[in-house]
Structure 1
Amino acid sequence: MQSVAVAAGVSPMTVSNAFRYPERVQDETRLRVLKVAAELGYVPNHAAGNLASGQSRVIGAVIPSIKNSSFYNYVRGMQDQVAADGYQLILKLADSLSQEASAIRTFVGLRVAGIVLVGDEHETDARTLLRKTGVPVVESWVHENPFDMAVGYSTTDATRAMVALLIEQGYRRIGFVGYEGDVSHRFTERVPVFREMLEKAGLDSHRIFLVDQADGFGAGPKALDGLCRIDAGLDAIVCPTDIVAAGVLFECGRRGWKVPERLAVAGWGDYEIASEITPGLTTIQPHTYEMGQRAMSLIIERAAGRGEQGTTIDTGFHIVKRAST
Structure 2
Amino acid sequence: MKREKLRSERSAAPTLEDVAREAGLSPMTVSRALNNPAIVRPATVARVMLAVEKTGYIPNMLAGGLASRRSKLIAVVVPQINNNMFVDTIQAISDTLAQRGYHMLLCVGGYGSDSEAALVATLLSRKPDGIVLTGIHHAPALKKRLINAALPVVEIWDLTPTPIDMLVGFSHEKAGNLSARFLLSKGHRRFGLLWTSDQRALLRKQGVIDILQQHNECRFVEASVGLPATMRLGREGMQALLAGNPELDAIICSSDTLAQGAILEAQSQGIAVPQQLAVMGFGDLDFAACHLPAITTVAIDRWLLGQEAATMLANKIEGITISDPVRDLGFWLCERQSA
Q: Determine the C-alpha separation between the residues in 2 that align with 1:203 and 1:43.
A: 68
1:32 equivalent in structure 2: 47
Structure number, greater radius of gyration = 2
Question: Which of 158, 162, 175 is the aligned partner of 2:175?
Answer: 158
Aligned counterpart in structure 2 of residue 67 of structure 1, from 67, 76, 82: 82
Compute the TM-score of the two structures, normalised by the length of structure 2.
Answer: 0.88
1:172 aligns with one of 189, 192, 201: 189
Question: Which deviates more from structure 2 when the two are superposed, residues 197-206 or residues 133-142?
Answer: 197-206
CA distance in 2, matches of 1:196, 1:23: 48
TM-score by length of 1: 0.92
Work out the CA distance in 2 between the residues paired with 1:113 and 1:4: 27
Question: Is this contact kept in 2: 1:148–1:310, CA < 8 A?
Answer: no
CA distance in 1, matches of 2:191, 2:53: 60
Answer whether contact 2:73 2:102 (CA < 8 A) is retained: yes
Q: Counterpart of 1:227?
A: 241
Does the 8 A contact of 2:316 with 2:322 survive in 1? yes
Structure 1 unaligned blocks of 5 or more: none
Matched residue, 1:259: 273
Match of residue 244 from structure 1:
258
Q: Give the Cα separation in 2 of the matches to 1:301 and 1:203.
A: 51
Which runs of structure 2 are paired with 1:67-106 in the superposition (5 Å)? 67-95=82-110, 96-106=112-122
Structure 2 CA distance for partners of 1:6 and 1:127, relative to 1, 3 Å: same
Counterpart in the other structure of 2:309: 295
Identical-pair percentage: 31
The runs of 5 or more residues in structure 2 that have no matched partner are 1-15
Q: 1:160 to 1:253 in 2, by over 3 A?
A: same
The alignment partner of 1:138 has SS state of: strand
Residue 40 of structure 1: how far off its partner (Å)? 1.3
Distance in 2 between residues matched to 1:37 and 1:201, nearest whole Å: 67
> Is structure 2 residue 6 aligned with structure 1 residue 4?
no
SS at the partner of 2:57? coil
Q: CA deviation at 1:241?
A: 0.8
Distance verdict in 2 for CA 1:58–1:138, change over 3 Å: same
Q: Does 1:47 align with 2:84?
A: no
Q: Which amino acid aligns with 1:172?
A: R
Q: Deviations over 1:3-62 (max 9, x none)?
A: 101111111222223323334444443323212211211122111111101233221110
Match of 1:269 in 2: 283
Aligned partners of 1:241 and 1:111: how far apart in 2?
Answer: 36
RMSD (Å) for aligned C-alpha atoms? 2.0
Evaluate the alpha carbon distance shift between residue 128 and residue 292 of structure 1 in structure 2; reply closer, same or farther with a 3 A threshold: same
One-letter identity of the residue aligned with 1:3? D
CA distance in 1, matches of 2:321, 2:219: 43
Q: How many residues are aligned here?
A: 322
CA gap of 1:146–1:27, structure 2 versus 1, over 3 A, is closer
Contact 2:299 2:334 in 1 (8 A): yes
Shift of 1:72: 0.9
| Contact map agreement 2:75 2:105 (CA 8 A) in 1 | yes
User: Could you say if the C-alpha distance between residues 63 and 309 of structure 1 is closer, same or farther in structure 2, counting changes exceeding 3 Å?
Assistant: farther
Query: Contact 1:298 / 1:307 at 8 angstroms: preserved in 2?
Result: no
Distance 1:173 1:119 in 2: 31
